[in-house]
Amino acid sequence: MDEFPVKMLSEIQPGDMPMFPKGEAPGAWPKGTRVRKSRDDPGDTHRVGDEAFVLSSVGPMDDMYLYFVIWDDMPLVPVGIRSDKLERL
């Protein structure tokens, strides 16, 4: 897998160009799938129940995928999230 720059959501500044890998990992949910946050950890920006669209996926790694999503409340900021924190709608 090629490396790509990743920032924590709190590190994003106005004018930053969103970057994420394109494509769909074998066996992952396809682009456009509606998902909901199903589990959160302390410090997470989004909470259980927040909804998003899948943009792309990477993996699997350790039986998980890394999904890049657009949250409904942040439509211009692609965000990476592990599959164990999402459920399909």
CA 51 to chain centre: 11
Asked whether residue 53 is domain-assigned, the answer is yes
The whole-angstrom separation of Cα 87 and Cα 8 is: 22
What is the total count of domains within the chain? 1
Judge whether residue 9 has pLDDT over 90.
Answer: no
Instruction: Please give the pLDDT value at position 37.
Output: 97
pLDDT tens per residue across span 51-69: 999 999 998 988 899 999 9
Average pLDDT over residues 81-87: 94
Tell me the mean pLDDT in the region 36-56. 93
Q: Is residue 18 part of a domain?
A: no
DSSP 28-50: SPPTT-EEEE----TT-SS-TT-
Domain with 51, as residue range(s), is 34-89
